Structure 1
Amino acid sequence: MPAPLLSVADYVAQVLALADGHERATETVTLDDAPGRVLAADLRARLAVPPFDNSAMDGFAVRRADVLTARAQSPVALEIVADLPAGSTDRPHVGPGQAARIMTGAPLPPGADAVVPVEQTVTGTFTGGGDTVRVEIVAAPSEGAHVRHAADDVSPDDVVITAGTRLTARHTSAAASVGYATLDVVRRPRVHVLSTGAELRAPGEPLAHGQIPDSNSTLLAGLARAAGAEVHRVGAVADDPAALRAALDAAAHADLIVTSGGVSAGAHDVVKELLSAPGPDGAPAVTFTKVAMQPGKPQGHGRVHGTPIVTLPGNPVSVFVSFEVVVRPLLRALLGQTPHAPTRRVAAATGWRSPAGRTQHVPVVVTDDGVRPATAGGSGSHLVASLALAEALAVVPADVVEVRPGDVLTLMEIDR
Structure 2
Amino acid sequence: MAKVPPIPLTEAQARLLALADPLTVEHVDIEGSVGRYLAEDLQARRTQPAADLSAMDGYAVRADDLAGPWRVIGESAAGHPHEGALASGEAVRIATGALLPRDGNVVLLQEDIARDGETIRFTGELPSPVDKHIRRCGMDFELDSMVLAAGTRIGPAQAALAIAAGHKHLPVRRRPQVAVMDSGDELAADPELCALHQIPASNSQMLAAMARSLPVDAKRLGPVPDTMDALAQAFAEASDSDLVVTSGGASVGDHDLIKPALEAWGAKLDFWRVAIKPGKPILVATRDLPMRRQVIIGLPGNPVSSFVTAHLFVLPLLRAMLGAARPLPARIRTRLGAPVPANGPRQEFRRALWDGEVVVPVSEQDSAALAALASSNVLIDRPANAPAAAAGEDVWCYPLENGGIA
* 25-34 or 214-223, larger mean C-alpha shift: 25-34
Distance 2:147 2:246 in 1: 39
> Which residue, out of 329, 332, 348, partners 1:341?
329
Pairs aligned (count) = 394
Q: Deviations over 1:114-162 (max 9, x none)?
A: 011111112222xxxxxxx222222334311311110012111111111
Identify which range, 290-299 or 2-11, moves more after superposition.
2-11
**Would the aligned equivalents of 1:18 and 1:302 in 2 still touch at CA under 8 Å?**
no
1:344 offset after TM fit, Å?
A: 1.8
- Alpha-carbon RMSD across the aligned residues, in angstroms, is 2.0
Which stretch shows the higher mean deviation, 159-168 or 382-391? 382-391
Letter in 1 for 2:316: P
Within a 5 Å distance, the mapping from 1:15-414 to structure 2 comes to: 15-19=16-20, 22-67=21-66, 69=67, 76-125=68-117, 133-139=118-124, 140-142=126-128, 143-276=130-263, 285-287=268-270, 289-304=272-287, 306=289, 307-337=294-324, 338-353=326-341, 355-373=343-361, 375-378=362-365, 380-414=366-400
Q: Distance in 2 between matches of 1:409 and 1:141?
A: 48
TM normalised by structure 2 equals 0.92
Specify every segment of 5 or more residues in structure 1 that has no aligned partner in the other structure, as ranges. Answer: 70-75, 126-132
Aligned residues of 2:238 and 2:244 also touching (Cα < 8 A)? yes
Residues in 2 aligned to 1:263 and 1:61: alpha-carbon distance in whole angstroms: 73
Once residues 352 and 53 of structure 1 are traced to their aligned partners in structure 2, the CA distance between those partners, rounded to angstroms, is 58
Cα shift at 1:288: 5.6
Deviation at 1:305, TM superposition (A): 5.0
SS across alignment from 1:61: strand
- Whose Rg is larger? 1
Question: Structure 2: 5+ residue runs without aligned partners?
Answer: none
Deviation at 1:277, TM superposition (A): 5.9
**Paired letter, 1:172:** A
Alpha carbons of 1:78 and 1:303: their partners in 2 closer, same or farther (altered >3 Å)?
same
Letter in 1 for 2:367: S
Work out whether residues 83 and 100 of structure 1, in 8 Å CA contact, stay in contact via their aligned partners in 2: yes
**C-alpha deviation, 1:311, in angstroms:** 0.4
Q: Match of 1:308, SS?
A: strand
The 1:30/1:114 distance shift into structure 2, 3 A limit, reads: same
CA contact (8 A) 1:256 1:309 kept: yes
Distance across 2 between alignment mates of 1:113 and 1:365:
55
State the shift of 1:5 in Å.
2.4
Confirm or deny: 8 A CA contact 1:252 1:305 kept in the other structure.
no
How far apart are 1:211 and its partner, in Å? 1.3
Are the equivalent residues in 2 in contact too, given 1:25–1:186 (CA < 8 A)? yes
Contact 1:30/1:182, CA 8 A, preserved across alignment: yes
SS of alignment partner, residue 151 of structure 2: coil
Q: What is the alpha-carbon distance in structure 1 between the residues aligned to residue 378 and residue 144 of structure 2?
A: 39
Distance 2:26 2:263 in 1: 37
Q: Deviations over 1:243-289 (max 9, x none)?
A: 1111112211111111010011212112134235695xxxx633563
- Per-residue Cα deviation, 1:166-222 (whole angstroms, up to 9, x for no partner): 111011111111112222221111111101011212354411121111110011101
Cα distance between partner residues in 2 of 1:332 and 1:134: 62
Report the CA distance between 1:94 and its aligned residue.
Answer: 0.6
| Secondary structure class of the residue paired with 1:393 | strand
Q: Which amino acid aligns with 1:42?
A: D
Query: Could you state the TM-score of these two structures normalised by the residue count of structure 1?
Result: 0.89
Note if contact 1:116-1:145 (Cα within 8 Å) is conserved in structure 2. no
Specify the alignment match of 1:73 in structure 2: none
Q: 1: CA distance between counterparts of 2:271 and 2:24?
A: 30
Shift of 1:317: 0.4
In structure 2, relative to structure 1, the CA distance for the partners of 1:243 and 1:232 (3 Å cut) is: same
The CA distance in 2 between the partners of 1:85 and 1:288, in whole Å, is 65
Instruction: Give the residue type in structure 1 aligned to 2:27.
Output: T
Q: 1:201 to 1:9 in 2, by over 3 A?
A: same
Structure 2 partner of 1:12: 13
Q: Which amino acid aligns with 1:251?
A: A
Cα distance in structure 2, aligned partners of 1:368 and 1:259: 34
**Helix, strand or coil at the partner of 1:14:** helix
